Amino acid sequence: MTYFDNFLKANQAYVGLHGDLHLPIKPKTKVAIVTCMDSRLHVAPALGLALGDAHILRNAGGRVTEDMIRSLVISQQQMGTREIVVLHHTDCGAQTFENEPFRQYLKKELGVDVGDRDFLPFQDVEESVREDMEILKASPLIPEDVKISGAVYDVNTGLISEVK
Amino acid sequence: MTYFDNFLKANQAYVGLHGDLHLPIKPKTKVAIVTCMDSRLHVAPALGLALGDAHILRNAGGRVTEDMIRSLVISQQQMGTREIVVLHHTDCGAQTFENEPFRQYLKKELGVDVGDRDFLPFQDVEESVREDMEILKASPLIPEDVKISGAVYDVNTGLISEVK
């Protein structure tokens, strides 16, 4: 028994409410949200997004990696988005470890030597938002006129606060 | 004026409904969902997820990249997840282009030579799910006993169908 089976059952009820929609493939707001995989953040209700409104990109920490840039280039050049919101959050898993001890743990636990691989942990959540906004601004693959905002989500209250 | 300002306003209403929760940092179901950034997929309602239930990882196509593996390793080794669902969808943006013409377009449009960079487009959505499940199964960083399922979400109906 997997949770996947439960998800398929829950999905049956969702289909009944969904109806036969034919929304455009291009997001209505032209926004891409870059955020964390954390289970306590449900992006659509937290930001008031309807189906079809915005691209939602999520990895561990909501960090701007090479793969995030790949996704944003497709989002912008193929799907017409023109704005990015970097949204990190309080009590993040990326704040629970540091690279070197984590690498040693993986070697011991999984028998894998990951070399100097960076798992992108951080200490200060506002600082990590600013860092990732800077990476976006510096990237030649992100056009100058794309609007970039940053914010922190509070997992206890649901409040989003802008980071300048 | 940015859409971000609208999101902050919508978030005020969300905070009123959220209340002061203190959910655990570790996802309740021990599941990580790997899926696409597409705006027509709201993962939590489509799978019946409550706040705190599962990690949600999203990039262009829902592809299993190096960054996705980074995130899954953190999800599993730091946050205790033990199951992965690879969820791609119909009418995907990753089906709207091919690598070489896209690279040429980026050179012309942005003046950037991306070399042989792979943007991970695909043609057949069931095949892309199977490919990504295989990458997970072959990765030494994903333990053998982690359960891996695959599925396709229909953006018109909301229906999720398993891929074997």
The answer to whether residue A60 is domain-embedded is yes
Distance from CA of B109 to the nearest CA of A (A): 9
The answer as to whether A8 is a domain residue is: no
Which pairs with CB-CB distance under 8 Å and at least 24 residues apart come from B137-141? B139/B69, B140/A110, B140/A111, B140/A112, B141/A106, B141/A110, B141/A112, B141/A114, B141/B69, B141/B72, B141/B73
- Domain of B57, CATH number, reads 3.40.1050.10
Q: Is residue B56 part of a domain?
A: yes
CB-CB: which of A59, A79, A157 is closest to B18? A157
- Residue B22 in domain: no
How many beta carbons lie within 10 A of that of residue B95, not counting itself?
A: 17
Rounded alpha-carbon distances, angstroms, from residue B90 to A31, A83, A84 = 21, 25, 24
pLDDT digits (tens, 9 = 90+) for A123-163: 999 999 999 999 999 999 999 999 999 999 999 999 999 99
Confidence of residue B105 (pLDDT cuts 50, 70, 90): very high
Supply the pLDDT for residue A1: 78
Task: Measure in Å the smallest separation between the Cα of A23 and chain B Cα atoms.
Answer: 7
- Averaged over B13-36, what is the pLDDT? 97
**Does B1 have pLDDT greater than 90?**
no
CA-closest candidate to residue A60, choices B81, B117, B120 = B81
What mean pLDDT is predicted for residues B108-129?
98
Strands A160-163 vs B31-36: parallel, antiparallel or unpaired: unpaired
pTM: 0.98
> Considering the domain boundaries, does residue A118 fall inside one?
yes
Strand partners, A160: A153
Q: Give domain status of residue A14, yes or no.
A: no
Q: How many domains does chain A have?
A: 1
Contacts of B148 in chain A (CB under 8 A): none
Segment A76-81 shows an average pLDDT of 98
Does residue B2 sit within a domain? no
Say if residue B4's pLDDT is above 90: yes
Residue B87, phi then psi, degrees to nearest 5? -125, 100
pLDDT at B66 over 90: yes
- Size of the A and B interface in Cβ pairs below 8 Å: 264
The ipTM value here is: 0.98
* Distance from the B71 Cα atom to the nearest Cα atom in chain A, whole angstroms: 5
Residues of B in contact with A98 (CB under 8 A): none
Residues from chain B contacting residue A46 (CB–CB below 8 Å): 11, 14
Average pLDDT of the residues in B70-79: 98
Burial label for A158, CB within 10 Å (0-12, 13-18, 19+), is buried
Report chain B residues whose CB lies below 8 A from the CB of A55.
Answer: 37-39
A38-52 tens-digit pLDDT: 999 999 999 999 999
- With 0-12 / 13-18 / 19 or more C-beta atoms within 10 angstroms meaning exposed / middle / buried, residue B43 is buried
Pairwise CA distance, residues B57 & B40, whole Å: 16
Query: Which residue range is the domain that position A57 belongs to?
Result: 27-163
B40 domain residue, yes or no: yes
